[in-house]
């Protein structure tokens, strides 16, 4: 472990154990470096790294603060990282989605509201036989986002939002090259909605797994 990594871990521990709270200002650099037993240069590098991932907010002439640590804020940094790596690791992103999204759907089956079910059905109603690939992918993104938020877990929903943005290119590619992409997506989405409406968590989990695996399998064969 590098000295900078150690500094990052020590600051993280301060946040996790409550010594630093969301929105709170960090002690002055000299004081904090002595408190953590670190050099000031190592501390500066750690602060830079934590600023990039939106954990810290460096305000010139004012000091360094812990951000609000809201899921939405932290997911922005993750989405940026995902975008940087989408060409080389999109299959890995689908693997992670295949693990997390079925779990979100399973939770959502017992928590989804009538308004959220209505939103899912309204989104599906926008898709027709002549729907373009871009419109289909836009619907798909919205559909999955609604389910993730219906889980009631804001951290899981934000994480999935970031992951989903990194697979857009592959989904468009599939839509352009695979026959019946629109019909298949609509059919699978319809089955998922009905499982959620019935509160069938296991069926919702299974259908989401199959749904995401279809794109993942196609991509493995295409690359």
pLDDT single digits (tens) 119-169: 999 999 988 877 776 777 788 889 999 999 999 999 898 888 877 765 555
Domain containing residue 120: CATH number = 1.20.120.530
Mean pLDDT, residues 82-111: 78
Q: How far apart are CA 110 and CA 178, in angstroms?
A: 34
What's the pTM? 0.59
Give the pLDDT confidence score for residue 85 in this predicted structure. 46
Phi and psi (nearest 5°) for 152?
Answer: 80, 5
Q: How far apart are CA 192 and CA 2, in angstroms?
A: 47
89 and 61 belong to one structural domain = no
Residues 18 and 57 in one domain: yes
Confidence band (pLDDT; 50, 70, 90) for 190?
very high
Are 114 and 141 contained in the same domain? Answer: yes
Picking from 51, 66, 81, the residue at the C-terminal end of a domain is: 66
Last residue of a domain, one of 66, 83, 101: 66
Co-location of 62 and 80 in the same domain: no
Give me the mean pLDDT over the 215-223 stretch.
62
**111 is in which domain, residue-wise?**
72-222
Quote the tokens at residue 169.
Answer: 């290119």
Q: Are residues 156 and 140 in the same domain?
A: yes
Q: Do residue 35 and residue 21 come from a single domain?
A: yes
96 phi/psi in degrees, rounded to 5: -70, -40
Residues 111 and 136 in one domain: yes
In this structure, are 82 and 109 located in the same domain? yes
**Which of 95-104, 108-117, 188-197 is predicted least confidently?**
95-104
Radius of gyration of the chain (CA): 21
* Helices (H), ranges, the chain: 3-16, 29-36, 40-52, 71-111, 114-125, 133-150, 154-165, 168-177, 181-197, 201-222
Lookup: tokens for 60:
């010139």
Structural domains in the chain (count): 2
Report yes or no: 68 and 22 within 8 Å, Cβ to Cβ. Answer: yes
- According to DSSP, residue 65 is labeled E
Q: Tokens representing 145?
A: 């986002």
CB 108 within 8 A of CB 203: no
Q: Are residues 41 and 103 in the same domain?
A: no
**Angstrom distance (rounded) from CA 12 to CA 74:** 14
Which domain CATH number covers 24? 1.10.10.10
Q: Give SS3 for 105.
A: helix
pLDDT band for position 114 (cuts 50, 70, 90): very high
Considering 39, 66, 93, which residue would you say is the last residue of a domain? 66
pLDDT in tens, 39-91: 888 888 888 878 877 788 899 888 899 887 776 665 555 555 445 444 546 67
Q: What is the mean pLDDT of residues 211-220?
A: 74
pLDDT at 33 over 80: yes
- Contact, 6 vs 38, CB < 8 A? yes
| Residues 18 and 34 reside in one and the same domain | yes
| pLDDT tens figures, 172-187 | 555 544 557 778 888 9
Domain check: are 16 and 96 in the same one? no
- H helix or E strand, kind and range, residue 56: strand 56-59
């Amino acid at each position: 472990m590098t000295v900078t990594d150690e500094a990052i871990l020590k600051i993280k521990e301060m946040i996790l154990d409550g010594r630093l709270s969301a929105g709170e200002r960090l002690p002055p650099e000299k004081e904090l470096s002595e408190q953590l037993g670190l050099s000031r240069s190592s501390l500066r590098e750690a602060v830079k790294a934590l600023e990039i991932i939106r954990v810290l907010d460096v305000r010139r002439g004012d000091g360094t603060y812990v951000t609000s640590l809201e899921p939405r804020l932290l997911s922005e940094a993750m989405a940026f990282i995902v975008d940087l790596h989408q060409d080389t690791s999109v299959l890995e992103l689908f693997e992670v989605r295949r693990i997390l999204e079925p779990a979100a759907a399973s939770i959502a089956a017992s928590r989804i509201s009538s308004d959220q079910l209505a939103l899912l059905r309204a989104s599906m109603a926008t898709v027709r036989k002549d729907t373009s690939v871009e419109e289909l992918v836009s619907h798909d993104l919205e559909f999955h986002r609604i389910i993730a938020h219906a889980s009631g877990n804001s951290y899981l929903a934000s994480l999935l939002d970031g992951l989903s943005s990194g697979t857009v290119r592959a989904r468009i590619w599939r839509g352009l090259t695979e026959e019946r992409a629109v019909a298949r997506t609509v059919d699978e989405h319809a089955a998922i909605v009905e499982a959620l409406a019935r509160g069938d968590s296991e069926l919702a989990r299974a259908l989401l797994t199959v749904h995401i695996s279809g794109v993942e399998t196609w991509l493995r064969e295409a690359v």
